């Protein structure tokens, strides 16, 4: 059979599976009913979320707003009295243990902590927020679209990949890492298939439909995009690799990243978890065990290593606006390992290791680069329901001590609004 014939056959199989799956789930009927109910609610003037009071989705899928009181992105629902606003710099976290996303005010004061919660879907993992204020949340059952201005879920985009029953827990199937194209036109989500290789699904943000799927490694913990939007990188935790995907052709290229080797296979702790893309040269930075920073050139597949000093199992990573690398240390996996920490590595290579109380998972940075927010959810047992706020800026009087604040239920992914 020719290559064209194989591709056509594969496409027909995908379409057939998609039709059967949606028919089985009754998706078409559910969508028509949901849109009808939403339209009726808008006409009746009562399209609100019963838990938050936020304006609900209109019949065209957009969030309804009171025309007499337009609100800026990030503002709260309209209603009797003054509108409730969401301050710039509010945190949005994925509640892996609560099937929700929580809005958290990190500012010191009486109102510090959770300010609103919105249903997302089963066991949300990663999330990303666009310039339009819409958040895309990878859950076990699909990608939830959240309007952060009205604090409502606009849609749940089902996966094309068959990932088994919708469950919870560390090894559940469904979405894990997620990223947004620089132009905001596509979302890329890594879908875990328990017991097998994962897929990268491409979602058109305008139509909210899956437009492509690509095979990637096992358990795609993280997904990142090149600065020019030309490539997507899916980090395969259980396959010791990063899959490089051309966003035009959707052709994948596997790059092994295993500075400790692959001995131990699925039982090994020495695997890649999260990555960041260094803007200066487009290389990927992947921390390992607080000892080595793997630097991957996605074009050639060459991996070099740089020394790190935290000596603890590491997960989440982020870059501050000035290029400072932040890496979350989750705690020891061996008797001689160190406790949880946040490594702060400046562009000149200087490291500061900030001790943290208890396990943590992911990290985000404030817009001004002065503060880091580290989630306490953790993919393994031993998590806690909060965020640690870490001071990154020394005004001459030293750094403030880390502060813990409440935040949702087992928070994993995090973004700053």
Q: Which of 53-57, 103-107, 248-252, 398-402 has the lowest mean pLDDT?
A: 53-57
Query: pTM for this one?
Result: 0.81
Q: Each residue of 144-197: pLDDT tens digit?
A: 999 999 999 999 999 999 999 999 999 999 999 999 999 999 999 999 999 999
For residue 135, pLDDT over 50 is answered with yes
pLDDT of residue 35 exceeding 50, the answer is no
Contact (CB, 8 A) for 146 and 118: yes
Given a cut of 60, whether residue 329 has pLDDT beyond it is yes
Question: 164: phi > 0 → left, psi -120 to 50 → alpha, else beta; which?
Answer: left
Q: What confidence tier does 20 reach under pLDDT thresholds 50, 70, 90? A: very low
Q: Are 104 and 90 in contact (CB under 8 A)?
A: yes
Select from 238, 292, 237 the least CA-distant residue to 265. 238
Could you read off the pLDDT of 92-131 as tens digits, one per residue? 999 999 999 999 999 999 889 999 999 999 999 999 999 9
pLDDT at 350 over 50: yes
pLDDT tens-digit map of 254-271: 999 999 999 999 999 999
Q: What is the mean pLDDT of residues 364-372?
A: 97
Q: String of b and e for 251-275 (b: at least 16 CB within 10 Å)?
A: ebeebebbbbeeeeeeeeebbbbbb
Say if residue 101 is exposed, middle or buried (CB neighbours under 10 Å; 0-12, 13-18, 19+). Answer: buried
* Dihedral angle over CA of 269, 271, 275, 280, nearest 10: 120
Average pLDDT of 276-302? Answer: 97
d(CA 360, CA 366): 18
Cα 182–Cα 183–Cα 187 angle in degrees, nearest 5:
70
Q: Among all chains, which residue has been given the structure tokens 């985009």?
A: 157
| Distance of alpha carbon 58 from alpha carbon 127, whole angstroms | 23
Sheet arrangement for strand 351-355: 313-319, 325-331, 341-345, 351-355
pLDDT at residue number 380:
78
Q: Look at residue 85 in the predicted model and tell me its pLDDT.
A: 66
33-40: Cβ within 8 A, 24+ apart: 35/59, 35/61
Return the beta strands (E) in 72-112 as ranges. Answer: 91-95, 100-105
Intra-chain end-to-end CA distance of the chain, in Å: 51
Q: Give the number of other Cβ atoms within 10 Å of residue 385's Cβ.
A: 18
What 3 state SS string does 350-400 have?
Answer: CEEEEECCCCCCCEEECCCCCEEEEECCCCCCCCCCEEEEEECCCCCCCCC
Contact criterion met (CB below 8 Å) for 360 and 374: yes
Task: Return the pLDDT at 174.
Answer: 98
Cβ–Cβ < 8 Å for 317, 335: no
pLDDT at 151: 94
State whether residue 4 is helix, strand or coil.
helix
Q: What pLDDT score was predicted for residue 397?
A: 87
Give 378's pLDDT tier (boundaries 50, 70, 90).
confident
Q: Are 305 and 269 in contact (CB under 8 A)?
A: no
Taking each continuous run of H as one helix and of E as one strand, the counts in the chain are 2, 28
Distance, in Å, from the CA atom of 359 to the CA atom of 339, rounded to the nearest integer, reads: 9
């Amino acid at each position: 059979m020719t290559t064209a014939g194989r591709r056509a056959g594969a496409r027909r199989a995908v379409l057939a599976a998609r039709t059967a799956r949606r028919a089985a789930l009754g998706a078409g009927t559910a969508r028509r009913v949901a849109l009808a109910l939403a339209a009726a609610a808008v006409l009746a003037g009562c399209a609100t979320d019963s838990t938050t009071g936020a304006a609900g989705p209109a019949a065209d899928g957009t969030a309804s707003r009171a025309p007499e009181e337009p609100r800026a992105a990030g503002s709260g629902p309209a209603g009797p009295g003054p509108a409730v606003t969401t301050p710039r710099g509010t945190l949005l976290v994925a509640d892996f243990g609560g099937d929700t996303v929580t809005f958290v005010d990190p500012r010191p004061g009486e109102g510090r902590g959770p300010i609103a919660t919105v249903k997302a879907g089963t066991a949300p993992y990663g999330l990303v927020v666009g310039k339009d204020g819409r958040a895309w949340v990878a859950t076990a059952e699909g990608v939830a679209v959240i309007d952060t201005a009205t604090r409502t879920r606009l849609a749940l985009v089902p996966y094309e990949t068959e990932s088994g029953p919708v469950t919870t827990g560390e090894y559940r199937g469904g979405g894990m890492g997620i990223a947004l194209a620089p132009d905001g036109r596509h979302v890329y989500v890594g879908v875990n298939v328990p017991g097998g290789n994962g897929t990268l699904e491409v979602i058109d943000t305008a139509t909210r439909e899956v437009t492509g799927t690509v095979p990637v490694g096992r358990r795609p913990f993280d997904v990142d995009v090149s600065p020019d939007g030309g490539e997507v990188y899916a980090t395969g935790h259980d396959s010791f690799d990063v899959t490089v995907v051309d966003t035009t052709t959707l052709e994948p290229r596997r790059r092994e990243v295993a500075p400790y080797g692959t001995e131990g296979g699925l039982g090994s702790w020495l695997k890649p978890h999260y990555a960041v893309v260094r803007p200066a040269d487009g290389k990927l930075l992947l921390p390992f065990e607080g000892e080595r920073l793997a630097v991957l050139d996605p074009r050639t597949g060459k991996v070099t290593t740089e020394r790190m000093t935290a000596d603890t199992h590491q997960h989440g990573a982020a870059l501050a606006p000035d290029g400072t690398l932040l890496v979350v240390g989750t705690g020891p996996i061996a008797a001689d390992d160190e406790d949880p920490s946040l490594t702060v590595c400046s562009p000149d290579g200087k490291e500061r290791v900030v001790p943290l109380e208890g396990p943590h998972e992911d990290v985000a940075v404030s817009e001004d680069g002065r503060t880091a927010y580290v989630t306490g959810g953790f993919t393994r047992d031993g998590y806690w329901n909060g965020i640690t706020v870490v001071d990154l800026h020394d005004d001459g009087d030293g750094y403030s001590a880390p502060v813990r604040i409440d935040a949702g239920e087992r928070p994993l992914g995090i973004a700053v609004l």
